[in-house]
Amino acid sequence: MTNAAASPKLFEPFALGPLTLPHRLVMAPLTRNRATPDGVPTPLMATYYAQRASAALIIAEASTPNAEGQTYPNITAIHSPAHVAGWRQVTEAVRAEGGRMFLQIQHGGRVGHPDTSGLTPVAPSPIALPETIHTPGGRRPSVVPREMTAEDIRNTVADFAFAARNAIDAGFEGVEVHSANGHLLHQFMAQGTNRRTDGYGGSVAGRIRFAVEVVEAVVEAVGPERVGLRVSPAYTVNGIDEGDTEELYPALVAALAAHRPAYLHVVRADPDQAVFQRIRKDWPGTLIANPVLPADRIPADGGIARAERLLAAGADLIALGRPFLANPDLVHRVRTGAPVNQVRNAYLMYVGGETGYTDYPAL
């Protein structure tokens, strides 16, 4: 049984800064824990990404800008020459297949553990993650993070800029700053995790300040056409409670627009949600939308019906995650209406090796 082919708009070229994307289906960043323990990308990762090079743009998985930003075991980093060299193997493999890549840069903040990084996590306020966390020795109780000082904040902003320059040296066309999913920048933005009384807390303007300063520094480091930002309005993962979503994101969008980054990437985008509609109205640049898909399966059409609703609501590009994981040739399947593979085993998404990673069949 085949599906109906997608609408022509999904396959129109799109100009993203200096890049001409051949269509509008972007591969979303997916943490898959296949790096070495010290964060160096592996040859297996080069194979994985090259298999998926037909995506209009690949946004590669979250990479930490410094050691204390590490979240889980075997995630990638981008703060040492070894990291740059490892990622260069990946970008060269993708480019050889005609693809283009951005790298997501993510600091975990309180989503981290000394058993993983060797360091006490840092965060806007000393409020622990309200759940256990995966470490090399299994799940452990979360620890209370150390509240970041003004110097810590300055140094972390500089680390993001340094990581962005490393990413360009590694062959990426650009970077995506991660301010979503309950990680450090999102922790600063949310009332539930930011109890600061200095200029980085309290009001909406104070709580978005850190994210805006990171974007500003990254833009200065590599140029606005090479920078995107990812956000997840009202998403409560990792114990996040924004508190004032409807005020937070218009203020963030207005502050970011002055720095002219290449795109804004909205996670779990819902065309019927007021905050998504407001972001689209206010954001003057390219908007990437990542639709909400069922947690237990990939829709039979690969998520395209939801993608096309977002295009109709004003999104410029559509980012899909698990559909690209299970279907290295997702673009061809969608274009022709062919059936899609399902994720075979969710556990294998986060365990090193070829199985459940590079062994998904193409048509």
Q: How high is the mean pLDDT of the chain?
A: 96
pLDDT of residue 347: 85
User: Residues of the chain whose pLDDT is less than 70?
Assistant: 1-5
Sequential DSSP letters for 274-306: HHHHHHHHH--SEEEEEE---SS---TTTTHHH
**CATH superfamily entry for domain 8-350:** Aldolase class I (3.20.20.70)
Q: What residue type is 103 in one-letter code? A: L
pTM: predicted TM-score of the whole model, two decimal places: 0.97
pLDDT of residue 109: 98
pLDDT of residue 4: 63
State pLDDT tens for residues 196-246.
999 999 999 999 999 999 999 999 999 999 999 999 999 999 999 999 999
C-alpha separations of 106 from 3, 67, 214 in Å: 36, 11, 11
* Cβ neighbours of residue 94 closer than 8 Å, sequence gap 6 or more: 46, 49, 50, 53, 58, 100, 101
Q: Which residue has the tokens 């606005």?
A: 224
Q: In the chain, where are the structural domains located?
A: 8-350
